Structure 1
Amino acid sequence: MFWFKRGLCFLPVFLVIWSSSTFIISYLIALLRHDVDIIFPYISDTGANPPESCIFGLMTFISACAGTATIYGRYKYVEKLSVDPRVVYPGLNKAAFVFGMLSCLGMCIVATFQETTVAVVHDIGALMFFVSGVLYTILQSVLSYRAYPFGSSMSVCRVRLGIATLASLAFFPTVICAFFVTQTALRRDTEQKDYPFYLASAVCEWIVAFSFICFFLTYIDDFKLFTLRVKTEYAE
């Protein structure tokens, strides 16, 4: 049996590959069409104009669906590990699941409402995605340590903690520097005073986004260990 057919590891594998492709493909199309600057545009800028906006929206929505399935699978897996509440508190697992779902909802909002059409709704969705995503990685890191030696190895726990820390540290400059950005054009003027704030915000945004992708990459070995089954019952 091929390794990606073991358990449910195809879920995080697909999520990582698809999400990475979403960011990269929309960026390359926008770059080839000269819609954005070559040096670190905002991720949303790469999906603001058609046709890249159509591709970005569709691929982001699929990523959100794959993320929902992966987060649910992780929730059920940790639930099995938390038979003894002294090891893994069930409420912590549920809280992580809620934040994960909110992050996926934020992705759907970002995919549906482009920044050039409904900017307020788009920004709310992006903030929901980043805040909930960072909290999700933090809680899952805590769960990994609490569940050890069951589930993940100590090296994986440390990697998850490192990724969660990086995402948390990069999140704050992403948001704070964005408040000082006054330019609204997709192609930025490097001579403007707000350009350093824009560049810092955009770079950190990419760091946070790919931190999430790397975090789900650590799920692959765990997802080899279990499967999920749907039980159907007739209602009387």
Structure 2
Amino acid sequence: MFWFMQGLCFLPAFLVIWSSSTFIVNYIIAIFRKDVDVIFPYISDTGALPPESCLFGLMTFISAFAGAATMYARYKYVEKLSEETSLVRPCLNKAALGLGMLACLGMCIVATFQETTVTRVHDAGAVLFFLTGVLYAIFQSVISHRIYPFGSSLTVCRIRTAIVGCSQSIRYVDVVGFGIHWPGPDTSVCVSLLQDYTYHLASAVSEWIVAFSFVCFFLTYIDEFKVNHCNLYLLLCLVKYGSLHFARDCCHTPPHVLPDL
């Protein structure tokens, strides 16, 4: 059995690989077509002009749906676990899911409204994505610590907290660089000749760091979702029957007499 076939780890694994490819592939195409500056353009700039804009929109849409599926699977696991252990308040888990869905909506807006056509809507979608994405990561870090040791290891919980702290602090640099020092809405020109190139570069670098910090955050989900068949059946029992005791009994039952899910 391949590693990505174990349990539900194919969800975060696909999300990590596809999201990384979305950023990297469009960047390479834009560089070869000389549509952007080589040194750290804004992510949206790499998908501003056709044909890379079409590919950027399609891949971002798929990333959004993959993210929504991964977030929902995480939500259901925490929900059923909390019903038996009361480790996490339902409102906290629902708030995290809501923030995650808003982040996915922001990604869809970014993919639909291109930077060169509807700039304000595109920027609003980007702000929605980054803001709610950081908040989602914060909420999930808190949840990870509360459900320990049922979820990830303590090391993974600390890594998630470190990723959140890094992305949150770096995001301020992006906001300052783009919101104050960027001279105009046309970001597709060669930025090397602009007076505020230093601020642009700091802002663009921080945007790439924050984007890949989200990728790294979901990367920590892979080991948590990578469960053996018994634990996978436990998770399915939790989702359907809502009983941790029943699920544990099922795990000690021969597979051929297990109830249908």
Instruction: Quote the residue 1:38 is aligned against.
Output: 38
Instruction: Quote the residue 1:82 is aligned against.
Output: 82
CA contact (8 A) 2:37 2:191 kept: no
| Distance in 2 (alpha carbons) for counterparts of 1:193 and 1:84 | 59
How many angstroms does 1:16 deviate by? 0.3
Letter in 2 for 1:204: S
How many angstroms does 1:175 deviate by? 1.2
CA contact (8 A) 1:87 1:146 kept: yes
Larger deviation, residues 107-116 vs 87-96 = 87-96
| Distance in 1 (alpha carbons) for counterparts of 2:236 and 2:195 | 53
- TM-score relative to the length of structure 1: 0.93
Instruction: Quote the residue 1:197 is aligned against.
Output: 199
**Partner of 1:83: helix, strand, or coil?**
helix
Instruction: Quote the residue 1:215 is aligned against.
Output: 217
For residues 34-56 of structure 1, the C-alpha deviation after alignment (integer angstroms, 9 at most, x for no partner) is 00000000000000000000000
Work out whether 1:150 is the aligned partner of 2:150: yes
In structure 2, the gaps of 5 or more residues are 241-261
| Distance in 2 (alpha carbons) for counterparts of 1:3 and 1:52 | 32
CA contact (8 A) 2:11 2:70 kept: yes
**Partner of 1:82: helix, strand, or coil?**
helix
More helix by share: 2
Instruction: Quote the residue 1:139 is aligned against.
Output: 139
**Partner of 1:190: helix, strand, or coil?**
helix
Instruction: Quote the residue 1:175 is aligned against.
Output: 175
| Distance in 2 (alpha carbons) for counterparts of 1:185 and 1:88 | 44
| Distance in 1 (alpha carbons) for counterparts of 2:63 and 2:171 | 21
Letter in 2 for 1:218: T
| Distance in 2 (alpha carbons) for counterparts of 1:157 and 1:13 | 18
How many angstroms does 1:156 deviate by? 0.4
Letter in 2 for 1:170: I
Letter in 1 for 2:214: F
CA contact (8 A) 1:171 1:205 kept: yes
Q: Percent identity?
A: 64
- Aligned residues: CA RMSD: 1.6
Work out whether 1:48 is the aligned partner of 2:48: yes
For residues 172-192 of structure 1, the C-alpha deviation after alignment (integer angstroms, 9 at most, x for no partner) is 111121112014241334343
Instruction: Quote the residue 1:234 is aligned against.
Output: none
**Partner of 2:190: helix, strand, or coil?**
coil
Distance change (3 Å), C-alpha of 1:85 and 1:95: farther
| Distance in 1 (alpha carbons) for counterparts of 2:11 and 2:187 | 37
| Distance in 1 (alpha carbons) for counterparts of 2:90 and 2:84 | 9
**Partner of 2:66: helix, strand, or coil?**
helix
Instruction: Quote the residue 2:243 is aligned against.
Output: none
In structure 1, the gaps of 5 or more residues are 232-236
Instruction: Quote the residue 1:66 is aligned against.
Output: 66
CA contact (8 A) 2:9 2:226 kept: yes
How many angstroms does 1:155 deviate by? 0.5
Letter in 2 for 1:213: V
For residues 33-86 of structure 1, the C-alpha deviation after alignment (integer angstroms, 9 at most, x for no partner) is 000000000000000000000000000000001001000011111112212564
How many angstroms does 1:150 deviate by? 1.2
| Distance in 1 (alpha carbons) for counterparts of 2:126 and 2:188 | 17
| Distance in 2 (alpha carbons) for counterparts of 1:78 and 1:125 | 28
CA contact (8 A) 2:45 2:187 kept: no
